[in-house]
Amino acid sequence: MAKGRTFDLVIAANRLPVDRVVDSDGTERWRRSPGGLVTAMDSVMRGREGAWVGWAGDPGEAPTPFDEGGMWLHPVEISQEEVEQYYEGFSNDTLWPIYHDVIVPARFHRPWWVAYERVNQRFAEAIAEVAAEGALVWVHDYQLQLVPQLVRELRPDVRIGWFNHIPFPPVELFAQLPWRSRLLTGLLGADYLGFQRTADAQNFIRSCRRHLDATTKGDTVTLPAADGRPGRTVRASAVPISIDFRSLDELARSPAVKARAQEIRASLGNPETLFLGVDRLDYTKGIRHRLKAYEELLAEGTLSTPDVTFVQVATPSRERVDAYKRLRTEVETTVGHINGSYSTIGAQAVHYLHQSYPREEMAALFQAADVMLVTPLRDGMNLVAKEYVTCRNDLGGALVLSEFTGAWHELHQAFVCNPHDIEGLKQTMLRAMSASPKEKQRLMRALRRRVSDHDVLVWADRFLENLRAAPDRPPRRTGKERS
Write each residue from 319 to 358 as x if it is in contact with ligand GDG (CB under 6 A), else as -, in one continuous string.
-------------------------------------xxx
Q: How far is the CB of 302 from ligand GDG (least distance, A)?
A: 28
Of 379 and 455, nearer to ligand GDG (C-beta) is: 379
Determine the interface stretch with ligand GDG among 31-39, 48-56, 428-436, 461-469 (rule: CB under 6 A): 31-39
Among 5, 35, 210, 288, binds ligand GDG (CB under 6 A): 35
Q: In sequence order, which ranges of 10-95 are alpha helices (DSSP H)?
A: 36-45, 80-82
Q: Which of 138, 162, 111, 172 is nearest to 8 (CA)?
A: 138
Q: Which of residues 223-262 bind ligand GDG (CB under 6 A)?
A: 241
Binding residue (CB under 6 A) for ligand GDG from 387, 454, 463, 467: 387
Mark out the alpha helices in 16-134 (DSSP H runs): 36-45, 80-82, 96-99, 110-130
Show the binding pattern over residues 106-145: x = contacts ligand GDG (CB under 6 A), - = does not: ----------------------------------------
Part of the chain binding ligand GDG (CB under 6 A), chosen from 116-124, 294-302, 375-383, 434-442? 375-383
Nearer residue to ligand GDG within complex by CB, 313 or 467: 313
User: 374: helix, coil or strand?
Assistant: strand
Q: Which of 370, 395, 397 is nearest to 309 (CA)?
A: 370
Helix (H) or strand (E) holding 325: helix 322-342
Return the residue of 107, 118, 359, 477 that touches ligand GDG, per CB under 6 A: 359
- Closest CB to ligand GDG among residues 166, 187: 166
For residue 171, CA distances in Å to 106, 221, 265 come to 16, 15, 47
Q: Indicate which single residue of 166, 188, 391, 411 sits in contact with ligand GDG (rule: CB under 6 A).
A: 166
Among 119, 298, 384, 447, binds ligand GDG (CB under 6 A): 384
Helix (H) or strand (E) holding 332: helix 322-342
Q: Does 165 bind ligand GDG (CB under 6 A)?
A: yes
Amino acid, single-letter form, for residue 9: L
Q: Pairing relation of β-strands 215-217 and 220-223?
A: antiparallel
Draw the binding track, 263-302, toward ligand GDG (x: CB under 6 A; -: no contact).
Answer: ---------------x-x----------------------
Q: Is the peptide bond before 419 cis (omega within 30 degrees of 0)?
A: no
Nearer to ligand GDG, 318 or 426 (CB): 318
Nearer to ligand GDG, 41 or 158 (CB): 41
CB-nearer residue toward ligand GDG: 13 or 188: 13
Calpha distance 224→348 (Å, rounded): 63
Burial category of 97 from C-beta neighbours within 10 Å (exposed 0-12, middle 13-18, buried 19 and up): buried
Would you tell me how many other CB atoms lie within 10 Å of the CB of residue 178?
10
Distance of alpha carbon 139 from alpha carbon 11, whole angstroms: 6
Stretch that binds ligand GDG, among 36-44, 74-82, 204-212, 320-328 (CB under 6 A): 36-44
Q: Are 353 and 310 spatial neighbours (Cβ–Cβ below 8 Å)?
A: no
Cα angle for residues 185, 115, 226 (degrees, 5° grid): 20
Footprint of ligand GDG on this chain (CB under 6 A)?
Answer: 34-37, 39, 165-166, 241, 278, 280, 313, 315, 356-359, 362, 379-384, 387
